[in-house]
Structure 1
Amino acid sequence: MDNKIDLLYTMMLIRRFEEACAEMYTKSRIRGFLHLYIGEEAVATGIIKSLSLTDNVLCTYREHGHALARGIDGGVIMAEMFGKVEGCSRGRGGSMHLFESRFRFFGGNAIVAGHLPVAVGMALADKKQKNDHITCCFFGEGAAAEGEFHEAMNLAALWNVPVLFVCENNLYAMGTAIRFSHAVVDLEKKGPAYGIETAVVDGMDVLAVEVAALKAVSIVRETGKPYFLVCNTYRFRAHSMFDAELYRDKAEVEEWKKKDPIEKQRQVLIGLNAMTQSDIMDLEKKVDAEVAKSVDFAENGKLEPVEELTKFVYSEIKP
């Protein structure tokens, strides 16, 4: 598949998968917390497609799209959210803790900014082992206001470790607008304070993200030093399925929807005569079939037997 078409397919797959997750949540097939990636698809798609399969990937709890872009089977992801043993964490992690070591996909991390120091440690390990791997760490602008962000940036620069910090700046950390949590809202100004090369990109344009990511990945791999990439994006849905979304104006959301990265890429491909409207409809059918297959796989999965619930537990109290 042509690269530009593949980028569109991946974004469409993420979008439809997330819509299916929302539907399954309303049917109580998925329980607990659920954070959708709708609107931000260009970031995970453009960056993860630029990585090697030997590179490490760490994410926040809004990570279904990243897992799909990484190549993890949609059925396995959906089964995890259904709490089935066929899931990537045997149903024990759920939506917020997707983990698949075979794809070097290390979360799904629920603590805001908690995975940034872990990313630095993984990059340090690769440096000491002289591996040609890099660690890509996704986080939101809310994490950039946490102490771990500054500690991680400082150590990464001090130790010269190959980590790509990717800030998915969707302007709202849960329900807090960026202007209320950052004294300096231009997040790209934070990297140079630590001597880290930094770039900012339109996170609603998958081709722009891919170009920026390819450059960033190349620099990190060649120099072994950290890099900070800020992707300005926007989530079209609420922070989570529990969110009443009273903190932003509906007109603002509708304005951002006009920048839909999927529609933008569709128009690019049509303009290049790379696809017709009929081709796009065929691609949509392929995506729909793939997502339906994922849901069926999860529905037909098994719950973990009660007698195995203490398996993988560090300690067990016995009478």
Structure 2
Amino acid sequence: MASILRSRLASRRLVQQYQPLLRRGVQTTADTTQLASAPSDPNSQPFTLKLHEDSFQAYLCDKPELEVQMTKGELLQMYREMQTMRRMEMAADALYKAKMIRGFCHLAIGQEAVSVGMEHGIEKDDRVITGYRCHPFAVLRGGTIEGVIAELLGRTGGMSSGKGGSMHIFTPSFFGGNGIVGAQVPVGAGAAFAQMYRGEKNCTFAMYGDGASNQGQVFEAFNMAKLWNLPCIFVCENNKYGMGTPAERSSSNTQYFTRGDKIPGIQVNGMDIIAAKQAVQYARKWAVDDQKGPLLLEFVTYRYGGHSMSDPGTTYRTREEVQRMRSTQDPIRGLQRYLEEWGVASEQELKSLDKAAKAEVDAAVEKAKASAEPVAKDLWTDIYYKGTEPSSMRGREREEVHNY
């Protein structure tokens, strides 16, 4: 009885300690980071920035540091990459509306600070796995824009040879978009287990949306990761309307960073790319360098489109709300303001980067369109790993065997 009483008292003290933080909530303005020391040449010379005090909220752990070291070169690279990812998603939007992309297509326009910020906070051999809003991650983790667009078009030049479509794109360090809601989370925990088993100094970021947060396998993965102290970072992209439903209608607790029970969590301003990068670096240090086991990250972000291209996105929110977010909290505009105010780049220089991003995407789209469509024999490839194919396969005609 005494041990039970001590445990209850300890839990109560933890709740009392962190409750004031949980009431405040993270802010999501894209341009509240302040310059702490003036940037200097060359582009590789670090300078200091100070994030807004409400960029993070913490549960059962400390917040990431608010002072951040950045360079001119990295800020410009992040701006270029965010613009490029948005241009790619806009191209996919246009191709879908032109009926060149069929089936499902889930875009991440508005959430670029999460994907690009994450890429700048992790290492090459870390692993990322996510759901079906996956196109930017596929490119940033070693793929190509042409490969993504060709995949969406169902062409052989696609990253999955035109067979996976919008949801199933992979690279050696990106374990894909996955179509079953929440199913990628235990797979991510398994990838982290493999890293620990092999003694690798890396971690896995298992991503899911607020709409997938209530799936049973998500909580099962939390439990196993904590039991085994896996180097797994569970990342909730809270874009406010998971599966086309306002969060408060589907979740009794919408503070997703607190839902790991004994797993600590950080809530992050997902509209400020500098805050996103800082949070990811904190998480990686937690899991890899400090070997503290799993951690939950919740990026509070926003998508401008509906749940998918078949969803207009205006039945559960107003057009005025979306327009307000675009005009006041856009992550690309926020970074643009930083770059101009801090003297990192002029308006004209940024316009040149915008034009370069557009030209890169336009060229990739044309190459993807020119890629061949799969022919009948291609349907029988990529079913088995090369060298393990059986001598026969059910459902095939005798004359088709030589095409295998």
| CA distance in structure 2 between the aligned counterparts of 1:307 and 1:237, rounded to whole angstroms | 37
Letter in 1 for 2:274: L
Q: Is it true that 1:255 corresponds to 2:324 in the alignment?
A: yes
Q: Which of 186, 197, 200 is matched with 2:267 structurally?
A: 200
Task: Give the SS at the match of 1:131.
Answer: coil
| CA distance in structure 1 between the aligned counterparts of 2:254 and 2:378, rounded to whole angstroms | 48
Q: Is it true that 1:127 corresponds to 2:196 in the alignment?
A: yes
Task: Give the SS at the match of 2:289.
Answer: helix
| CA distance in structure 1 between the aligned counterparts of 2:163 and 2:346, rounded to whole angstroms | 43
Structure 1 unaligned blocks of 5 or more: none
1:150-181 Cα deviation digits (max 9, x unpaired): 10111111111111111100111122110011
Which residue of the partner structure matches residue 274 of structure 1? 344
**8 Å Cα contact 2:210/2:242 also seen in 1:** yes
Letter in 2 for 1:21: A
Which residue of the partner structure matches residue 238 of structure 1? 306
Letter in 1 for 2:198: Q
Task: Give the SS at the match of 1:213.
Answer: helix
| CA distance in structure 2 between the aligned counterparts of 1:174 and 1:251, rounded to whole angstroms | 20
**8 Å Cα contact 2:258/2:264 also seen in 1:** no
Structure 2 unaligned blocks of 5 or more: 1-42, 44-72, 385-392, 398-404
1:186-205 Cα deviation digits (max 9, x unpaired): 112213x1x22211111010
Task: Give the SS at the match of 1:142.
Answer: helix
Q: Would you say how many aligned residue pairs link Structure 1 and Structure 2?
A: 315
Task: Give the SS at the match of 2:284.
Answer: helix
Q: Is it true that 1:316 corresponds to 2:316 in the alignment?
A: no
Q: Is it true that 1:139 corresponds to 2:217 in the alignment?
A: no
| Larger deviation, residues 110-119 vs 44-53 | 44-53
TM-score by length of 2: 0.76
Which residue of the partner structure matches residue 93 of structure 1? 164
TM-score by length of 1: 0.95
**8 Å Cα contact 1:89/1:100 also seen in 2:** no
Q: Which of 141, 150, 153 is matched with 2:222 structurally?
A: 153
Report the RMSD for the aligned CA atoms in angstroms. Answer: 1.3
| CA distance in structure 1 between the aligned counterparts of 2:142 and 2:354, rounded to whole angstroms | 18
Structure of greater relative contact order (alpha carbons < 8 Å, 6+ residues apart)? 1
Task: Please list, as runs of the form range in 1=range in 2, the aligned pairs for 1:111-122 lying within 5 A after superposition.
Answer: 111-122=180-191
Task: Please list, as runs of the form range in 1=range in 2, the aligned pairs for 1:1-319 lying within 5 A after superposition.
Answer: 2-101=73-172, 104-191=173-260, 193=261, 195-224=262-291, 225-245=293-313, 246-257=315-326, 258-313=328-383, 315-318=393-396
Which residue of the partner structure matches residue 12 of structure 2? none
Task: Give the SS at the match of 1:136.
Answer: strand
| CA distance in structure 2 between the aligned counterparts of 1:163 and 1:106, rounded to whole angstroms | 14
| CA distance in structure 2 between the aligned counterparts of 1:232 and 1:110, rounded to whole angstroms | 22
Using the TM superposition, give the Cα deviation of residue 304 of structure 1 relative to its aligned residue in structure 2, in angstroms. 1.7
Using the TM superposition, give the Cα deviation of residue 118 of structure 1 relative to its aligned residue in structure 2, in angstroms. 0.5
- Structure with max Cα Rg: 2
